[in-house]
Amino acid sequence: MANGDLDLELSSAFDGIYDTQNGIAVFKMLIDGNWRSSERGELLDVHTPIDGSIVAKAQMATVSDVVSATKAAKENRGINELPGRERIEIFERTVALMEKHRDEFVRVLQIEAGKTKSDAKGEFDAAVQRLRLSRQEAERFWGEVIPGEWNYSTKEKMAVIIREPVGVVAAIIPFNYPLFIAAAKIVPALLAGNSVVIKPSSSNPISAILLTRVLENAGVPKGSMNLITGRGEESGDALVKSENVDMINFTGSTPVGKRISQMAVMKRLHLELGGKAYALVLEDADLDLAAAKCVHGSLKFAGQRCDAVSAILATEPIAETLSVKIVTEVDKWKLGDPRDPSVTIGPVISLRAAASINDLVKDAVTNGAQLLRGGKFQSTYFEPTVLDYVPPHAKIAREEVFGPVISIIRCKDEQEALNFARQSNFGLESCVFTRDFSRMWRVARALECGEVTINDYPSHGVGYFPFGGIKQSGLGREGIGYSIEEMTNLKTIVFNLAPGKREI
Ligand code: NAP
């Protein structure tokens, strides 16, 4: 992709899912098997974070569009009527089609999310790999048999426990992994026999729209897969409240997750929310490893990752040396236009995001933190920033940053670092750097979060290992087989093995 070239350049496989107005693609929604415009005809602008220009438009779904999409999903359970083998074949065709359109997906991810080519390729590959692994895992969902003979009242009974789809799954997607998270929700939902309504982020809905077309072309039955676009407050709210929806599978911020959990009365909830991953660097750690990993974990995709290393808790004896090494590592990163192959850190998603990162940095400095690198931004481009001596009461010590900022909080020892981390409202990820096995175990057990990584930065990757949060980081677990499990209900079928005996 040459500089200045922000054309989406879609092949004929995507004909019919958009119209062109004044040279800009206007994407439609998929409702009940038809690609159509919103009832009100209102559109939302999709800006690229690269230079802020409008690269596409999408429909602004109304409440009535949401009703049509959820009704279609409720009434069209065709996916559940297909034998599992046929569902798997649909996903084999999906993988083949995605591979065929790889360059288009990578290009769209670069343009709509501002990713470097390497980050965009990484996301595409993870989405395809997730599809492959989910398809394998689906074949393992057999259920179980429980003989009743170990209990007096069930002695002559036996239960068969099977898994059934929950029904209609609403999948709500954040901006940071718009293709991967869409695939990681839709694929297990459909494999398990659910029908789906997906709502991508308004910031960058295009890759999820392309994925929906690919699934349609791969043979997902009409109406089993629906897509709406539009602002969360209108279409998202309507989706969450809809009586046609049985489960909300949401990834996004904690405030929106909380709002959803209040609105979604008596629905199955899977909430993957915000995080504040602390990296505990203890005095016996390999400091070169810790510095390189913490910086990578903080700056990858401009820090816009729920599992980003968000603050480093450095124990006193090594804090100074670690701080110097961190600055040396940060200086290797290059900020700029993500279309330039030498650039390793691109823009953040919006001007609003850049301003809120700036507020957190300013607050830390006002409260006494030392600014060792960065701290400035121009439009959506925020310099890789290092803050040392961040005081525990600074907002940045506790809040999610979602930007390329490394905060070093100096702690007296392991216990002080642990006490600090355990007070967090979030509970998604943490990591610890140490060479001592008993410390690895002790610290991992003491940290209050869904996943602890030892001697590396946290990274969900394709979800090969299960992940998910506790406290304000969410409910439920993502993961290859775990996601399928989350989107099914257990049904117990009890057989009376001695129907001839009539005594009650
Ligand atoms: P967000 O603002 O919460 O938005 C996420 C999605 O929710 C978007 O599609 C948004 O639509 C929609 N939404 C907004 N208000 C809604 C409402 N009232 N009802 C229903 N849906 C609504 O999050 P984001 O800024 O896109 O993503 C960043 C956040 O996601 C961070 O906090 C990050 O930690 C979290 N995240 C967590 C994980 C994890 O695995 N735990 C993974 C990735 C990201 P609009 O775009 O139209 O507003």
Is residue 466 assigned to a domain?
Answer: no
Q: Are residues 265 and 285 in the same domain?
A: no
CATH number of the domain where residue 447 is located: 3.40.309.10
Which ligand 1 atom sits nearest the alpha carbon of residue 175?
26
Atom of ligand 1 nearest to the CA of 237: 19
Same domain? 90 vs 153: yes
Active-site residue, from 272, 329, 451, 486: 272
Q: Which of 346, 395, 341 is nearest to 367 (CA)?
A: 395
Task: Kindly state the average pLDDT of the residues 379-403.
Answer: 98
In this predicted structure, what is the pLDDT of residue 140? 82
Q: Which residues pair with 158 in a beta bridge?
A: 147, 495
Structurally, the chain folds into a number of domains equal to 2
Query: Do 117 and 162 fall into the same domain?
Result: yes
Give me 362's structure tokens. 């300013």
pLDDT value for 338: 97
Confidence of residue 135 (pLDDT cuts 50, 70, 90): confident
CA of 4 to the centre of ligand 1 (A): 29
Pocket test for ligand 1, best of 271, 276, 306 (most atoms within 8 A of CB): 306
459, pLDDT greater than 90:
yes
Residue 290 is encoded by which pair of tokens? 């810790």
Question: Each residue of 293-305: pLDDT tens digit?
Answer: 999 999 999 999 9
Residue to mutate, 206, 259, 273, 462, ligand 1, most ligand atoms under 8 Å from C-beta: 273
Predicted confidence (pLDDT) at residue 2 exceeds the cutoff of 60: no
Distance set, CA 65 to CA 19, 36, 242, 278, 417 (Å): 19, 10, 12, 42, 50
- 272 counts as catalytic: yes
Percentage of residues in the chain having pLDDT higher than 90: 95
219 plus 207 within the same structural domain: yes
Lookup result for tokens 């489960």 = 247
Residue 40 falls inside a structural domain: yes
Name the residue at shortest CA distance from atom 14 of ligand 1. Answer: 232
Radius of gyration (C-alpha) of the chain in whole angstroms = 24
Regarding whether 12 and 142 lie in a shared domain, the answer is yes
The predicted structure's pLDDT at residue 87: 94
CATH number at residue 133: 3.40.605.10
Q: What separation in Å is there between the alpha carbon of 415 and the centre of ligand 1?
A: 34
pLDDT, tens digit (0-9, with 9 covering 90-100), for 148-174: 999 999 999 999 999 999 999 999 999
268 and 351 share a domain? no
In this predicted structure, what is the pLDDT of residue 422?
A: 98
pLDDT digits (tens, 9 = 90+) for 249-261: 999 999 999 999 9
What band does 142 get if pLDDT is binned at 50, 70 and 90? confident
Query: Which residue puts its alpha carbon closest to atom 23 of ligand 1?
Result: 252
Counting from 1 in the atom list of ligand 1, the atom nearest the Cα of 177 is 43
306 is catalytic: yes
Confidence of residue 118 (pLDDT cuts 50, 70, 90): very high
Q: Whose CA is nearest to atom 40 of ligand 1?
A: 272
Q: Whose CA is nearest to atom 12 of ligand 1?
A: 232
418: buried, middle or exposed (CB in 10 Å: 19+, 13-18, 0-12)? Answer: buried
Distance of CA 200 from the midpoint of ligand 1 (Å)? 9
pLDDT tens-digit readout, 416-427? 999 999 999 999
Q: Is residue 242 part of a domain?
A: yes
**What pLDDT sits at residue 54?**
97
In a domain, 462, yes or no: no
Q: Is 331 left (phi over 0), alpha (psi -120 to 50) or beta?
A: alpha
Residue 436 alpha carbon to ligand 1 centre in Å: 38
Using pLDDT thresholds of 50, 70 and 90, give the confidence band for residue 451: very high
Q: Which atom of ligand 1 is nearest to the CA of 467?
A: 40
- Residue 181 clears pLDDT 90, i.e. is over it: yes
Ligand 1 atom closest to Cα of residue 230: 47
Closest of 202, 219, 246, 215 to residue 73, by C-alpha: 246
Angle between the 180-191 and 117-138 helix axes, to the nearest 10 degrees? 10
152 alpha carbon – ligand 1 mean position (Å) = 50
- 338 in the same domain as 194: no
- The pLDDT of 86-104, averaged and rounded, is 97
Same domain, 53 and 151: yes
The predicted-structure confidence for 34-72, as pLDDT tens digits, reads as follows 999 999 999 999 999 999 999 999 999 999 999 999 999
Q: What is the pLDDT of residue 68?
A: 98
Express as a percent the part of the chain with pLDDT over 70: 99
- Model confidence at 200, pLDDT cuts 50, 70, 90, reads very high
Ligand 1 centre to CA of 420 (Å) is 27
Show the ligand 1 pocket: residues with CB < 6 angstroms: 172-176, 199, 201-203, 231-233, 236-237, 240, 251-253, 256, 259-260, 272-275, 306, 400, 402, 428, 469, 474
Which residue's CA is minimally distant from atom 16 of ligand 1?
232
Across the range 419-445, mean pLDDT stands at 98
151 and 222 share one domain: yes
Inform me whether the pLDDT recorded for 139 exceeds 90.
Answer: no
Any domain includes 204 = yes
State the distance from the centre of ligand 1 to the C-alpha of 365, rounded, in angstroms: 29
- Does 284 share its domain with 230? no
> Is residue 370's pLDDT more than 80?
yes
138, pLDDT greater than 90 = no
For residue 503, being part of any structural domain is answered with no
Closest ligand 1 atom to 469 CA: 41
Q: Best substitution site from 42, 44, 253 to test ligand 1's pocket, by max atoms within 8 Å of Cβ?
A: 253
**pLDDT class for 4, splitting at 50, 70, 90?**
low
Nearest atom, ligand 1, residue 275 CA: 34
Domain span at residue 400 reads 277-454
Average model confidence (pLDDT) for the chain?
96
Q: How far is the CA of 496 from the centre of ligand 1 (A)?
A: 48
pLDDT at 3 over 60: no
CA–CA separation, 79 and 135 (whole Å): 15
Q: Is the pLDDT of residue 129 over 70?
A: yes
Atom 45 of ligand 1, nearest CA residue: 232
Looking at the structure, do residues 308 and 259 belong to the same domain, yes or no?
Answer: no
Query: Which residue's alpha carbon is at the smallest distance from atom 24 of ligand 1?
Result: 174
Q: Quick one: pLDDT band at residue 191, thresholds 50, 70, 90?
A: very high
pLDDT at 187 over 70: yes
Task: Give the global pTM.
Answer: 0.97
User: Which residues are registered as beta bridge partners of 161?
Assistant: 144, 492
pLDDT at 325: 98
Shared domain for 430 and 287, answered yes or no, is: yes
* Collapsed DSSP state (helix, strand, coil) of residue 220: coil
The CA-based dihedral angle spanning residues 114, 118, 120, 122, taken in that order and rounded to the nearest 10 degrees: -150
- Establish if 297 belongs to a structural domain: yes
Q: Is the pLDDT of residue 504 over 70?
A: no
* Residue 163: inside a domain: yes
Compute, in angstroms, the gap from residue 347 CA to the centroid of ligand 1: 19
